[in-house]
Structure formats: structure tokens, C-alpha cells
Amino acid sequence: MGAGRQTKMVVETVFKKLYIIHITEVGNTEWK
């Protein structure tokens, strides 16, 4: 199903963005 595939892509994109933000925040905390 096209809709299901598109939803999966959106979820993966959001997850990656949140993951990068989390890594950045953790990195900033550790470097201070």
C-alpha cells in the first residue's frame, strides 16, 4: 500500500531527526 509506505517513511524521518537531536543534546551535556 502506498499510504502505508509513505507513513513509514515519515515515521522514520521523524525518528532520525529526534535521534540526531538527542545525540546532539547528550553530546553538548558531556562536553560541558
- Please state the three-class secondary structure of 1-32 as a single string: CHHHHHHHHHHHHHHHHHHHHHHHHHHHHHHC
Q: In whole angstroms, give the CA distance from residue 1 to residue 6.
A: 9
Supply the pLDDT for residue 26: 84
- pTM of the predicted model as reported, rounded to 2 decimal places: 0.56
Q: What is the pLDDT of residues 1-32, one digit of tens each?
A: 677 889 999 999 999 999 999 998 888 876 65
Q: In whole angstroms, give the CA distance from residue 11 to residue 29.
A: 27
Supply the pLDDT for residue 31: 61
